[in-house]
Amino acid sequence: MAKAWRIRRDRIERKRMEILIEGISKQFDGFAALSPIDLAIPSGQLVALLGPSGSGKTTLLRLLAGLEPVDAGRIVFGGKDATRLSLRERKVGFVFQHYALFPHMSVFENVAFGLRSRPRKQRPNEADLVARVNTLLELVQMEAFRDRLPGQLSGGQRQRVALARAMAIDPTVLLLDEPFGALDAKVRIELRRWLRKLHDETGFTTLFVTHDQEEALELADRVVVMNKGRIEQDDTPDRVYSHPASAFVFDFLGRSNQILGEVRDGLFHADGFSLPAASGDCAAGPATLFVRPHDLSLAASGDSTIAARVEMVMHLAGRITLDASLPGQTRPLLIDIAGDLPRIPQRGESISLALRHYRVFCTPG
């Protein structure tokens, strides 16, 4: 079985199913759900579309699948213009958040459904169909459940069946819409690691929608961060997290602190301190300094430190977090500190903080 699938996989990879998105846009009742965007996805990559609700990520996925028509622009699969093709003609494997399995069909027949639904001339003979479905069930580790109904499976098992069904039609690309959204946290973690391994074995060009930042950063080759129908940043997970292109990306990805101030003469100024502002972030005017809790550390008082007052000490999941106030700021700072310090600061105590890494962005308006 495994050898047969590897041969199949090699044939898929030779298709070079890169995806090109050229200036596509979409409106619903006058609302711009997706502004004109451009995006190139190389063949074989696993790409996460990440953003808050209403950012346009699911709209983009549905346009790629052919479930919605584009208002403008072009979609190209493997060098072929697919903009006006239907879902069937595009041969897209689409996996929904809530599985959409047929409850009266066995696991085997759910996976076989797309093959049995083909026109007679394109339909494989029964022996080939059985071999392909069995190979897929083995690949997703569901061969022992081939005769069960979906109602007899766990949520994670049903999602594996949905993925096998999407792959059965030999798709050009795989599109996954919040594939783990209906699962509990532990199962999500297990399945996303399994999906990464599955992707490495099969080589499908795959896009998945998620609002889970950890899921995107752990699973994807590239992360496309979306906001208000536009792409804020498109880069590797490491660079999106460590080199955010905008204040929105910095704030959306992970925990962050924000300090309001202004930039003058290359320095960021706030009440009681000033720090260098990197060139290109903000030339002058009102600005916001962003820093992550783990990039703040306790330090001896000095020119490059910030004076703060401890308001709360929290012990959270093996780490210690301080909640501290700054002069002239309405939002408190969150500071992650090492639990093995000789002494943990207490509520009401004055402390000095050093900033390891931070970014300064101009404040809009």
Do 105 and 137 lie in a common domain? Answer: yes
Phi, psi at 75, each rounded to 5°: -120, 125
Shared-domain flag, residues 213 and 279:
no
Q: Are residues 192 and 340 in the same domain?
A: no
Which residues are CB-contacts of 327 (< 8 A; sequence separation ≥ 6)? 271, 272, 307
Residue 189: which CATH number? 3.40.50.300
Q: How many CB atoms lie within 10 A of CB 212?
A: 17
CA distances from 122 to 114, 116, 170, 180, 259 (A): 11, 10, 12, 32, 62
Interval 73-90 mean pLDDT: 91
Per-residue pLDDT tens digits for 126-173: 999 999 999 989 888 899 999 999 999 988 888 889 888 988 888 889
* CATH number of 316's domain: 2.40.50.140
Same domain, 106 and 192: yes
267 in the same domain as 241: no
- Model pLDDT, residue 16: 57
Q: Which of 4-13, 32-41, 118-127, 175-184 has the highest mean pLDDT?
A: 32-41
Of 247, 282, 315, the residue at which a domain comes to its end is 247
Domain shared by 156 and 260, yes or no: no
Domain identity same for 340 and 310 = yes
Across the range 60-70, mean pLDDT stands at 93
Question: What pLDDT, on a 0 to 100 scale, did the predictor assign at position 227?
Answer: 95
Least confident range from 49-53, 96-100, 344-348: namely 96-100
Dump pLDDT digits (tens) for 162-186: 888 988 888 889 999 888 776 777 7
Residue where one domain finishes, among candidates 189, 224, 247: 247
Identify the pLDDT of residue 45: 93
Which residues have a Cβ under 8 Å from the Cβ of 86 and sit 6 or more positions away? 66
Domain end call among 220, 247, 274: 247
Q: How many domains does the chain have?
A: 2
Instruction: Please give the backbone phi and psi of residue 201, each rounded to the nearest 5 degrees, phi first.
Output: -80, -35
What confidence score (pLDDT) does residue 279 get?
Answer: 64
My answer on whether 183 and 147 are in the same domain is yes
Q: What percent of the chain has pLDDT over 90?
A: 56
pLDDT band with cut points at 50, 70 and 90 for residue 14:
very low
**Higher per-residue confidence, 36 vs 156:** 36
pLDDT over 70 (residue 1) = no
Q: Which of 10-14, 175-179, 315-319 has the highest mean pLDDT?
A: 175-179
Look up the domain containing 291 and give its range.
255-362
What integer pLDDT is reported at residue 2 of this predicted model?
40
Containing H/E element for 298? strand 296-298
Cα(173)–Cα(137) distance, integer angstroms: 19
Angstrom distances, CA of residue 16 to CA of 11, 12, 100, 110, 153:
10, 7, 29, 28, 35
Mean pLDDT across the stretch 212-226?
93
Query: What value does the mean pLDDT of the chain take?
Result: 87
Assess whether 241 and 271 both reside in one domain: no
Residues 208 and 260 in one domain: no
Mean pLDDT value of segment 80-108: 88
Residue 111 pLDDT grade (very low, low, confident, very high; cuts 50, 70, 90): very high
Contact of 201 with 44, CB cutoff 8 Å: no
What is Dmax (Cα atoms) for the chain? Answer: 79
Over residues 108-130, mean pLDDT: 90
- Per-residue pLDDT at 192: 83
